[in-house]
Structure 1
Amino acid sequence: MLLESIILAILIGFLVGGKLNSLFEINLKGLELLFLGALLQLFAFWSVKLHLEWANYWVIPFSHSLSYLLLMGFTLKNRAYRSFSLVALGIALNGVVIVLNGGLMPVDPAYLPEASRQLLQAGTGTHGILTDSTRLKMLADILFINIPVLGKQLFSLGDILIDLGMGTFIVMQMRRSENRPQ
């Protein structure tokens, strides 16, 4: 849901008189951490999607967990931007529940289509099925919304904080004429 939240934030930014150019003038630190973290998440996602041989081994959970460490480093380097504290908290909550559950984000199977549920039960992917032994269940993907066109979306408390933080950051930066940390 992060992409949808970013698009919504840009639209809100326009509605409150912001300028898209302002987003290109931001001086973020540690972009390499952001790109490496995103790359590891893409690696995990596509390894599973393409049914690559290592997808069911420790490589995916490890790369998934490591991506959150890198993303946390990126947010900490940019903590001068006030809204990044929400992003950092969201990443920390997601990262903790993922690490404590073997590198997989637990997901409530009640909201999943049957095909997705079967894949998760087979141990495939970056998500795992929420069970009685799941640690920190309240931080798992247990929240659900059905969005027209996009369909069912599962998300966590951490996802909400990340989306709110990024959305606030984008709107605030679009409204600034000088892009100093705020």
Structure 2
Amino acid sequence: MVYDGILLSLLVGFFRGGSFKGLANMKLRGGWLFPILLAVQFVIFILQDKVAIIGKLSNALFLLVYVVGLFFLWLNRNQPGFIVIFAGVLLNFIVMALNGGRMPVSIEAAQFLGREYIDALRAGVYGKHQAITSDTLLPFLGDIIPLSPPYPRRQVISIGDVVMNVGAFFFIQHLMLSAPGKNTSAAPASR
């Protein structure tokens, strides 16, 4: 879902007269952490069923990625939108941490994703997700919001995902609309 929000924000920024040059001038403290965190999550997801030790530690590793991600966001809290992104990630982290390191997913909301997905959720073998049950803590923070056509991709998202996307939208709009060389106000006439 975050990728969808980034794409939408880029399109809106472009149509508002923004420039992609602003993205090139992005300055983030600890910026090297973000691509590493994405790569680590991808590796955990790929290896959790193939390497026994990764499988046993995957929930803790996913939570560690979130902790480091929250640290990165806090370092950059003065950037426009980053406190909002931080709040969204924190909501997701809280519900995952309280539920054994996996994001609870509503079976009812996910019905349109197919039988194989539902079976994997119930079995607890779908990445960092698990089905919401009567034992789930704070289920309203889990993936409970279904997105289906006319939305281009079928998925189930959380309140935290929505909050993260709002923050990412503000950040990208700021970058694109304040790009160097962009005429944001009329220059006074010289004599």
Q: TM-score, normalised by structure 1?
A: 0.89
Letter of the aligned partner of 1:134 in structure 2? T
Q: Does 2:41 match 1:41?
A: yes
Letter of the aligned partner of 1:117 in structure 2? I
Unaligned runs of 5+ in 2: 181-191
Letter of the aligned partner of 2:166 in structure 1? L
Per-residue deviation, 1:97: 0.6
Letter of the aligned partner of 2:130 in structure 1? G
CA distance in 2, matches of 1:31, 1:145: 31
Q: Does 2:14 match 1:14?
A: yes
Q: Does 2:98 match 1:100?
A: yes
Q: Does 2:49 match 1:54?
A: no
Relative to structure 2, which stretch is displaced further, 133-142 or 30-39? 30-39
Per-residue deviation, 1:138: 1.0
CA distance in 1, matches of 2:31, 2:67: 14
Partner of 2:172: 170
1:41-120 alignment runs, 5 A limit: 41-48=41-48, 51-54=49-52, 57-110=55-108, 111-112=110-111, 113-120=114-121
Question: Greater helix share, 1 or 2?
Answer: 1
- Which of 129, 150, 154 is matched with 1:152 structurally? 154
Letter of the aligned partner of 1:118 in structure 2? D
CA distance in 2, matches of 1:159, 1:18: 25
Relative to structure 2, which stretch is displaced further, 90-99 or 32-41? 32-41
CA distance in 1, matches of 2:124, 2:63: 16
CA distance in 1, matches of 2:43, 2:18: 35
Per-residue deviation, 1:95: 0.5
Partner of 1:128: 130
Letter of the aligned partner of 2:116 in structure 1? A
Partner of 2:183: none
State percent identity of aligned pairs.
29
CA 1:147–1:74 in structure 2 vs 1: closer, same or farther (change >3 Å)?
farther
Per-residue deviation, 1:63: 1.2
Report if aligned partners of 1:36, 1:67 keep a CA contact under 8 Å in 2: no
CA distance in 2, matches of 1:33, 1:39: 10
SS of alignment partner, residue 171 of structure 2 = helix
SS of alignment partner, residue 106 of structure 1 = strand
Report if aligned partners of 1:56, 1:123 keep a CA contact under 8 Å in 2: no
How many pairs align? 176
Per-residue deviation, 1:36: 3.0
SS of alignment partner, residue 27 of structure 1 = coil
Unaligned runs of 5+ in 1: none
Report if aligned partners of 2:47, 2:54 keep a CA contact under 8 Å in 1: no
Q: For the pair shown, which has the larger CA radius of gyration, 1 or 2?
A: 2
Q: Which runs of 4+ in 1 moved over 6 A?
A: none
Letter of the aligned partner of 1:90 in structure 2? G
CA distance in 2, matches of 1:7, 1:55: 36
Q: CA RMSD in A?
A: 1.8
